[in-house]
């Protein structure tokens, strides 16, 4: 069977839209009555809790409360709606080249999985985006309660594919220590720099674009050392 390929999401399959995220959080701040720059900073500082613990409404309530706000349920719902709309927009616009690569890999028989450190609104929006139908498995940190580089999240994806981690190729930009985490569980790791040069210290294999994958996966890849 062709090797299963596990992908990261943001800055690997599509742009992370970091500036747009900050703009939307600033707009959310006005809805809940707190200072925009302060809420943006609070969002950045609370990334781990948002990835594995809080849904979008809880995030709004907790962070606004920490900044002295006391939003009503209606304000929380409006702010959360802004964040959910952002997730839908971001997931709706993967590069056409990304979709072409995924289609080529599926046509060649490669099972495809996703592992994403992502908040709940991304997981909610995923099924309606153009990427979802191209994947056999999608694992989101907000759904499983663990985030990369925790070994557990890689094992969950491999188990759902029905394979051992050592049989998988992992492709990511390198955020959150994801490449070392994948290598630690035995996966063959490829760092991509196409959308973001996130982990330039990585000493393993590097590709400059996902378009290299179909040909690369047609020949043996080097394995991580002992």
Residues 50 and 9 reside in one and the same domain: no
pLDDT at res. 98: 97
Which residue, of 33, 67, 91, is where some domain finishes? 91
Strand partners, 5: 112, 169
CA 194 to chain centre: 15
Residues 145 and 54 reside in one and the same domain: no
pLDDT at res. 184: 98
Burial class of residue 81 in the structure, from the number of CB atoms within 10 Å of its CB (0-12 exposed, 13-18 middle, 19+ buried) = middle
Full-model pTM: 0.94
Burial class of residue 218 in the structure, from the number of CB atoms within 10 Å of its CB (0-12 exposed, 13-18 middle, 19+ buried) = exposed
Integer Cα distance of 157 and 187 in angstroms? 12
Cis peptide before 223 (omega within 30 of 0): no
pLDDT means per 10 residues, the chain with 226 residues, are 95 95 97 98 97 97 97 98 97 96 96 98 98 98 98 98 97 97 97 96 96 88 56
Residues 109 and 207 reside in one and the same domain: yes
Strand partners, 207: 192
Q: Give the start-end residues of each E strand in the chain.
A: 5-7, 112-116, 137-140, 169-172, 188-192, 205-207
Which residue, of 91, 106, 137, is where some domain finishes? 91
pLDDT at res. 222: 59
What are phi and psi for residue 64, nearest 5 degrees? -65, -40
Domains in the chain, number:
2
> 214 is written with which tokens?
């179909």
Residues 63 and 105 reside in one and the same domain: no
What are phi and psi for residue 35, nearest 5 degrees? -75, 130
Question: CA triplet 164, 168, 171: central angle to 5 degrees?
Answer: 145
Instruction: Look up the domain containing 31 and give its range.
Output: 18-91
Integer Cα distance of 132 and 191 in angstroms? 22
Which residue, of 32, 67, 91, is where some domain finishes? 91
Residues 109 and 202 reside in one and the same domain: yes
**Coil, helix or strand at residue 172:** strand
Burial class of residue 39 in the structure, from the number of CB atoms within 10 Å of its CB (0-12 exposed, 13-18 middle, 19+ buried) = buried
Residues 100 and 60 reside in one and the same domain: no
Strand order in the sheet with 112-116: 137-140, 112-116, 5-7, 169-172, 188-192, 205-207
């Amino acid at each position: 069977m062709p090797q299963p390929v596990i992908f990261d999401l943001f800055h690997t399959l599509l742009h992370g839209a970091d500036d747009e995220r900050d703009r939307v959080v600033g707009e959310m701040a006005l809805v809940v009555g707190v200072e925009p720059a302060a809420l943006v900073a609070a969002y950045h500082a609370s990334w781990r809790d948002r990835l594995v613990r809080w849904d979008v409404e809880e995030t709004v309530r907790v962070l606004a409360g920490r900044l002295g706000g006391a939003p009503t349920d209606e304000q929380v719902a409006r702010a959360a709606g802004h964040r959910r709309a952002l997730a839908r927009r971001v997931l709706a616009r993967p590069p056409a080249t990304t979709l072409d690569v995924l289609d080529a890999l599926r046509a060649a028989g490669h099972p495809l999985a996703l592992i994403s450190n992502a908040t709940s609104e991304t997981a909610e929006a995923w099924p309606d985006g153009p990427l979802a139908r191209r994947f056999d498995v999608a694992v989101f940190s907000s759904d499983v309660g663990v985030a990369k580089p925790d070994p557990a999240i890689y094992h969950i994806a491999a188990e759902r594919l029905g394979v051992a981690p050592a049989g998988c190729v992992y492709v990511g930009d390198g955020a959150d220590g994801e490449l070392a985490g994948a290598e630690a569980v035995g996966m063959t790791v490829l760092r991509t720099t196409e959308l973001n040069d996130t982990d330039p210290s990585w000493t393993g294999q590097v590709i400059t674009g996902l378009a290299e994958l179909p040909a690369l996966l047609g020949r043996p890849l080097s394995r991580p050392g002992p």
